[in-house]
Each structure stands twice: as C-alpha cells, then as structure tokens.
Amino acid sequence: MYKKYFENKKAVFFDLDGTIANTRIIREPALKSVGEEIGLNTNPATLFPSGVTLKEKWKYIKKLFGVAKDIKIEDLVNKTNDKTLELLKTIEIEPLEGFFDLLFEIKEERKMKVAVVTNTSTGIALEILKAMDLDKSFDLVIGGDKVKNQKPSPAIYKKALRELKLHPKDVLVFEDSLVGVKSAIKAKIDTLVIWNLNHHQYEYDRRALEFFPNFVPLVGNTNVTPNEYNVRELQKREQILKEEN
C-alpha cells in the first residue's frame, strides 16, 4: 500500500525523540529537576514543542526567568543530560508501536540502510537506543553535536547523506516535529510524519508526504501498491468467510 514511498530508496533515516520513541517521559522530568536546582518555581519542560534543542531551551529559560548570568548554559545542558541518563536507568523507554517490525522489514528483508538523525547529542542518543536494545541496529547514529547548526537547518541530514554516500533521492525520512520535517525537506529528502497531535497538520511543511500515528500501518505494506493491498484484504475476508462456513 505504501510501495510508492519506499520504491527505489536505499535507506531510511529516523529522528529519535518523538519518532522512534516517546522520550518526553525522561526529558521533561530531567529539565524540571535541573530547573528546581537553580530555583525555578515553574516547570520549564511544558514550554517547548518537540524538536527544540536542549541548548535553545536553556537559552530561552534563562532569558524568560532571569536566571543568574553566572550560570552557564553549557553547564545546564550537561546537568540535564546527566539527569536524563539517571532517569533512563529507572524509567523504561519503548519504541513506538510497529517500529521493531518495520525496522526488521526494511533492514533485513529489503536490505536498506538505516540511520538515526537527531538533534540530541550522539552520546545521549546512543544511551537511549541502548536502553531499547537498538544501539547496534543502525548503520549510522548522528547527533546534533556533530554539526554547527541543528534542525531546522538541513546540515545534519546533509552530513548523514555524506557519511553513508547517498543522494537525497535515495532516502526516506521519518520525523515528528515541525523543525525536523523542515530540516529533512530542506535537505530535499522525502519525509513522512509520525504525528503526535501536538501540532495541526497544516502547520507542517506542505511537502510532507503523509502522516501516521505510529509505524503499524506501514508494517508489511512497504512493497505493496494500493490495488495489491485491496486484493489482499479481499482475499483475507473471503478466507474468513470460508472458515466460518
């Protein structure tokens, strides 16, 4: 049913936070905890949509709440990352529904390359993937610390293309955030959205191909046209009717 998206592609790139997994369950408490350490009486984690880098979050928080100038953004970022890793030991992270099956299908059956391309620093991304037994599953994991300009700049996707010696037309991207979708499309890569309802669909770049709640609809359908899908479903229903009779 979704053959048109995967046809002639050589690789699939995935964002991490909000796309492969819901990492807000560790991200937000980590940000809140560090905020409390520096005297914030409100939860800064609720201020930001997905896709905003940790550095940008702390820049905004410092300006909004008048955090002391001697508190360095770099220190706040490092403390937040350390807290994230602490929480990762006690809070279970799981991939979105259907991800494992889709990953197996595109990597093992279709022999496509797979990569994680995220604004999260590479080290933290690897630890999150390790917690889900996915740290050895990708041909490339590249974080925002590897480029000067993070998403929505296309720099990180262009770097991933260079690392894997691919052209934009060779790749399909899965993203969830507005900035992530913008980044991939600026890099001229076909992009599908894992839609978490945090934004209206019309807010995304209109060139996004389609929206999915998770990966389930794609499993088993990456090499099937709509007509083939309809025939297959009809055959399934006919078989059920036969068995019932």
Identify any residues that bridge with 194 across adjacent strands, giving them in sequence order: 212
What's the pLDDT score for residue 245?
A: 65
Predicted model pTM? 0.90
In angstroms, the CA 128 to CA 242 distance is: 47
Check: CB of residue 151 under 8 Å from CB of residue 181.
Answer: no
**Calculated CA dihedral for residues 223, 212, 25, 78, nearest 10 degrees:** 70
> Locate tokens 């990966």: which residue?
215
Cα radius of gyration rounded to whole Å, the chain: 20
Lowest mean pLDDT among 41-45, 147-151, 153-157: 41-45
DSSP 204: S
The answer on pLDDT for 224 being more than 90 is: no
CATH fold group of domain 3-22+96-236: Rossmann fold (3.40.50)
CA angle, 169 then 171 then 173, to 5°: 125
Check: CB of residue 98 under 8 Å from CB of residue 214.
Answer: yes
In angstroms, the CA 193 to CA 180 distance is: 9
Q: Where are the domains of the chain?
A: 3-22+96-236, 24-88
Check: CB of residue 164 under 8 Å from CB of residue 113.
Answer: yes
Sheet holding 190-194, edge to edge: 140-142, 113-117, 11-14, 171-175, 190-194, 211-212
Half-sphere exposure of 39 (CA within 13 A, CB side): 6
**Rounded mean pLDDT, 104-119:** 97
The amino acid occupying position 191 is T
In angstroms, the CA 164 to CA 189 distance is: 14
The answer on pLDDT for 2 being more than 70 is: yes
In angstroms, the CA 13 to CA 7 distance is: 15
The answer on pLDDT for 74 being more than 90 is: yes
**Rounded mean pLDDT, 48-66:** 86
